[in-house]
């Protein structure tokens, strides 16, 4: 009961705009490990399948206006009925009714009981949208993505590829970390992690990358506090590797916070390392991160879309990890799936063009501009690069394949690469490397 009450509280916070990972970190502190895992699994599964769960609820409560608290209780209950084989139907229903009894809407416990029992008895009779007649609606409901995104992916990639993209889920609760080579080697970090009882597996593409099984509260681990490792996705590490920074070079990370890629670039011993961040509080957090990791980068609060005259042709390498729609992270961040809109993508594309325009002038002749996003939106990726190369003819695409891990070489298209979670098992990043003549 206590675990489900906590899940209901956190779900309410997420519905009000909180990020799931931050809400979990705040609310689960001090809870026994097994209870933390149950609450986290219940919430992630509910949010991953929210569209489908709501569709089922609406099939059995047709015509009813459902209060948001009641809907959240139903969502958690339906999630257990549909996706938790270890929870008996009776427990899923009865525990949901108990949640209602303890809520300000206790008079509706009979409604919740009736809806959940009806769903449990008739689960196999639910009629979903037809795959042949309503392909976008089918994908939207079955895999719980906004309808406009299902339509966009079908239009850009075809139905089969779109279904593979949208049906993919993160397979295990692993935390991806990298050894901070400024302080420790990968093998030394692995031994320390295993010595503390953590099960780890090696990264797929980067040698000093490890995935830690069932890690919660990583910031409480001494190895993290000492700066021996950083939490960072493997796709993000691939971007930093592709920058091909050499010792002594001048390097700018133009959209740096939280500073993961800047810290990675510091391992290549650049002579000058500068990090721009638009927001002062994020710059402060980034500075704290650098101090923990022993990174000697210069932080500057600056809008990357505005040209800074003093930096004209000042850098051998400029990394633009642009603000983006983050569609490549939706498979593991289900709480943000329904916050995305087509209008946001169009606006972001314009912002990215402005940043590229300013940053193009910072690169020395013979230098390199690296552009990345964590999205699979062509407006923000391939179309931006095509626009940039037309506007700045002094740039050309680099031979990206030569800069990639062997397993990804064949995926490069000239100077660009689009990663897909369902194909590559990592975040859906886009990467372009452009060289200035």
The per-residue pLDDT for range 66-109, each reduced to its tens digit, is: 999 999 999 999 999 999 999 999 999 999 999 999 999 999 99
What tens digit of pLDDT does each residue of 254-273 get? Answer: 999 999 999 999 999 999 99
Measure the N-to-C terminal CA separation of the chain; round to a whole number of Å.
65
Which range of 171-180, 282-291, 327-336 scores highest in mean pLDDT? It is 282-291
Q: State which H helix or E strand residue 299 sits in.
A: strand 298-301
Helices 33-48 and 50-60: angle between axes, nearest 10 degrees:
70
pLDDT of 1: 59
d(CA 255, CA 295): 17
Dihedral sign (CA 98, 103, 106, 112): negative
3-class secondary structure, 398: coil
Rg (C-alpha) for the chain, rounded Å, is 24
Report which of residues 353 and 26 the model is more confident about: 353
Count of CB atoms situated within 10 Å of the CB of 30: 7
Residue 73 has, within 13 A of its CA and on its CB side, a CA count of 28
Q: Is 17 exposed, middle or buried (0-12, 13-18, 19+ CB in 10 A)?
A: exposed
Band of the pLDDT at 25, cuts 50, 70, 90? Answer: confident
Count of CB atoms situated within 10 Å of the CB of 318: 31
Residue 124 pLDDT greater than 80, yes or no: yes
Q: What is the mean pLDDT of the chain?
A: 95
Band of the pLDDT at 306, cuts 50, 70, 90? Answer: very high
What DSSP designation does 183 have?
T
Count of CB atoms situated within 10 Å of the CB of 168: 18
Residues 299, 324, 359, 374: which is the catalytic one?
374
Give the residue among 171, 135, 165, 150 at the shortest CA–CA distance from 44.
171
What tens digit of pLDDT does each residue of 200-254 get? Answer: 999 999 999 999 998 777 888 999 999 999 999 999 999 999 999 999 999 999 9
Q: Which of 171-175, 244-248, 258-262, 383-387 has the lowest mean pLDDT?
A: 171-175
Is there a catalytic annotation at residue 200? no
Q: What is the DSSP string of 321-367?
A: E-----GGGTTT-GGGGGG--HHHHHHHHHHHHHHHHHHHTTEEEEE
């Amino acid at each position: 009961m206590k675990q489900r009450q906590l899940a209901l509280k956190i779900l309410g916070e997420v519905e009000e705009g909180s990020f799931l990972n931050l809400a979990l970190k705040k609310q689960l502190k001090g809870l026994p490990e097994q209870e933390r895992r149950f609450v986290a699994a219940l919430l992630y599964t509910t949010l991953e399948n929210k569209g489908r769960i709501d569709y089922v609820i609406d099939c059995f409560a047709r015509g009813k206006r459902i209060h948001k608290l009641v809907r959240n209780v139903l969502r958690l209950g339906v999630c257990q009925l549909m996706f938790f084989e270890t929870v008996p139907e009776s427990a899923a229903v009865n525990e949901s009714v108990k949640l209602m009894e303890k809520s300000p809407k206790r008079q509706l416990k009979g409604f919740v009981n009736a809806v959940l029992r009806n769903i449990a008895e008739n689960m196999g009779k639910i009629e979903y949208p037809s795959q042949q007649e309503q392909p976008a609606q089918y994908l939207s409901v079955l895999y719980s993505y906004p309808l406009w995104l299902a339509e966009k992916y079908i239009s850009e990639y075809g139905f089969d590829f779109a279904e593979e993209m949208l049906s993919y889920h993160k397979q295990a609760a692993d935390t991806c970390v990298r050894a901070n080579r400024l302080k420790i080697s990968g093998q030394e970090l692995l031994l320390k992690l295993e010595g503390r009882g953590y099960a780890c597996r090696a990264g797929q593409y980067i040698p000093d990358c490890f995935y830690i099984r069932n890690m919660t509260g990583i910031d409480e681990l001494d190895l993290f506090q000492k700066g021996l490792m950083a939490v960072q996705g493997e796709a993000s590490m691939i971007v930093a590797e592709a920058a091909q920074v050499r010792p002594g070079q001048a390097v700018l990370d133009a959209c740096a916070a939280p500073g993961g890629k800047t810290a990675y670039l510091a391992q290549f011993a650049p002579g000058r390392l500068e990090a721009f961040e638009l927001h002062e509080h994020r710059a402060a957090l980034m500075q704290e991160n650098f101090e923990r990791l022993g990174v000697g980068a210069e932080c500057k609060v600056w809008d990357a879309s505005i040209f800074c005259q003093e930096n004209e042709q000042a850098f051998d390498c400029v990394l633009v990890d642009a603000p983006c729609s983050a569609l490549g992270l939706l498979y593991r961040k289900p709480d943000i799936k329904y916050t995305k809109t087509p209008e946001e993508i169009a606006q972001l594309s314009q912002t990215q063009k402005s940043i590229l325009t300013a940053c193009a002038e910072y690169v020395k002749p013979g230098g390199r501009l690296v552009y990345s996003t964590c999205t699979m939106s062509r407006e923000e990726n391939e179309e931006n690069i095509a626009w940039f190369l037309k506007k700045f003819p002094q740039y050309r695409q680099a031979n990206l394949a030569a800069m990639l891990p062997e397993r990804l070489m064949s995926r490069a298209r000239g100077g660009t690469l689009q990663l897909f979670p369902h194909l590559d098992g990592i975040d859906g990043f886009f990467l372009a490397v452009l060289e200035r003549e």
